């Protein structure tokens, strides 16, 4: 049996994962025996204090770093078994990332941000229009980031994360720079992706106001993950 490809039904299957970071006295257990199973189409939120390991969890789930122990599978593929190049390819083809600020390229229009990501993945035929429509940004396709509000930039960031049709979308405090109304808008777009396009979404947030859009809320404390109280 090939242990690198089991339980493909789960979008994300983290079993007993631990991760230590730093050296010497500064060494911390960023992840402490974390278990997390996420189904396709499920929208999971993770809350918890700063420094509790939330970004580390997304880094492990997104094949940006390997856990020290335990297993992390995305659609059955064990990430710990992938080499650097294979991990980069898998990430590009399967996983989308949305960060705190849109991380857009200042000189490019919204449409060109999406085309560029497609070209980098060898996909020259990306049509930005339906993706921008999905995030309510059709009317801003030709605008550069400087001509967009924070919420609009974040929605372009989500559209860009969707260019290569990921089946796992990871968001690290995607609403941290937004006001209340924009935050709801952005999280609603993530919920739509989960519920209408069957994408598994894991979002780290400090923003308790937006949790109503999520299917499940977990809490991270000192590297340990548990159902939120």
Ligand X SMILES: Nc1ncnc2c1ncn2[C@@H]1O[C@H](COP(=O)(O)OP(=O)(O)O)[C@@H](O)[C@H]1O
Interface residue list for Mg ion (CB under 5 A): 55
Distance in Å from the first CA to the final CA of the chain: 39
- Could you list the residues that contact ligand X (CB under 6 A)? 21-22, 28, 30, 48, 50-56
Q: How far is CA 18 from the centre of its chain?
A: 20
Residue with tokens 């990871």: 170
- Residue placing its CB nearer to Mg ion in the complex, 63 or 132: 63
What is the rounded CA–CA span in Å between residue 126 and residue 173?
27
Please state whether beta strands 43-47 and 200-204 pair in parallel, antiparallel, or not at all (unpaired): parallel
Q: Which does 130 bind (CB under 5 to 8 A by kind): ligand X, Mg ion, none?
A: none
Minimum CB–partner distance for residue 47 and ligand X (Å): 10
- The site partner of 211 among ligand X, Mg ion, none (C-beta below 5 to 8 Å per kind) is none
- In this complex, which beta carbon is closest to ligand X, that of residue 30 or of residue 82? 30
State the minimum distance, in angstroms, from the CB of residue 96 to ligand X.
Answer: 19
Residue 177 touches which of ligand X, Mg ion, none (Cβ within 5-8 Å per kind) = none
183 binds, among ligand X, Mg ion, none (CB under 5 to 8 A by kind): none
CB of 9 to Mg ion, least distance (A): 29
For residues 166 and 11, the answer to whether their CB atoms sit within 8 Å is: no
Nearest-approach distance from CB 114 to ligand X, in angstroms? 27
Measured from the CB atom, the residue of 2 and 50 that comes closer to ligand X is 50
Closest contact distance (angstroms) between CB of 73 and ligand X is 20
Nearer Cβ to Mg ion (6/100): 100
If the CB atoms of residues 45 and 134 are measured against Mg ion, the closer one turns out to be 45
34, 63 Cβ separation under 8 angstroms: no
Q: CB of 28 within 8 A of CB of 21?
A: yes
Question: For residue 157, is it left (φ>0), alpha (ψ between -120 and 50) or beta?
Answer: alpha
Nearest residue to 140 via CA among 118, 121, 159, 116: 159
Residue 83 token pair:
């080499």
């Amino acid at each position: 049996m090939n242990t690198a490809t089991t339980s493909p039904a789960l979008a994300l299957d983290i079993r007993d994962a631990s991760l230590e970071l730093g050296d010497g006295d500064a060494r911390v257990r960023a992840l402490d025996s974390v278990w997390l199973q996420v189904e396709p189409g499920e929208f999971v939120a993770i809350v918890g204090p700063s420094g509790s390991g939330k970004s580390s969890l997304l880094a492990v789930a997104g094949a940006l770093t390997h856990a020290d122990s335990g297993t992390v599978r995305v659609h059955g593929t064990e990430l710990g078994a992938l080499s650097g190049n294979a991990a980069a390819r898998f990430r590009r083809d399967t996983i989308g990332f949305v960060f705190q600020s849109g991380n857009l390229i200042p000189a490019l229009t919204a449409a060109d941000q999406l085309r560029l990501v497609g070209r980098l993945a060898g996909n020259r035929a990306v049509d930005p229009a339906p993706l921008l429509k999905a995030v309510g940004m059709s009317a801003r396709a030709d605008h550069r980031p400087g001509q967009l509000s924070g919420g609009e930039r974040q929605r372009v960031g989500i559209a860009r994360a969707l260019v290569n049709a990921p089946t796992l979308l990871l968001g690290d405090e995607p609403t941290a720079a937004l006001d209340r109304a924009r935050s709801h808008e952005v999280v609603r777009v993530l919920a739509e992706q989960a519920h209408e396009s069957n994408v598994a979404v894991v979002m780290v947030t400090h923003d308790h106001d937006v949790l109503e859009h999520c299917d499940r809320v977990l809490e991270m404390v000192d590297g340990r993950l548990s159902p939120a109280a």
